[in-house]
Structure 1
């Protein structure tokens, strides 16, 4: 299966499921494992302007627990390195690092698909979620997401 990568090159990728069994409307989007460029710098976990701790339209929210009921972090822009982000909303896990701890995600955007990857800079195993859908991550992504981008 061929897919178009973020930087315009074609790549051959296998399809992976983002969500486990029972999740509504999961979509496997084949994507490139090529880096989008740039380098990540070591930084303390932070809260960025697009992360206000409120899940609203146009955002992808990542939750620390598998039920999607505890602290979350919201994203409206691409993020190549989730190791410098923290869970912002009140609840268990607030203030802890997002990378390699998220177990549930929901795409609140009505038009865009979000793609999560298991390594920084949009590399590793990557899969996406349709607009207005989500659920508990499959074993491949549960506690193993390090970057995300919108397509």
Structure 2
């Protein structure tokens, strides 16, 4: 299960990188095209909420260490906050700008956190492999 969790966290990292790309893609367009591009960003974001909630379940099953499980839960909580940052401050003026800035920074924080989780998942897999190799006769 640790190997599955490692693959899963890498998949989530790819989706988060795609999310950042979709945000940038929408930001450099205008008019109706901008709305259509941000629909892709919002759709992928909705999927990411689901994937990160599943990540918490998979982390609990894989048992890669409590810190890894807590970091996974933190990233799931942080992605729930994304909507609050994007829309909770309004969409216009200074408050809207602050909300979008927090939305972007939180998104990059989630990506960074998931990279740490993926690295810790890899360490858990390597430790399991080392234990197997140590216990088997050469």
Please say which structure displays the higher CA radius of gyration: 2
* Greater RCO, 1 or 2 (C-alpha within 8 Å, sep 6+): 2
Question: Which has a greater percent of helix?
Answer: 2
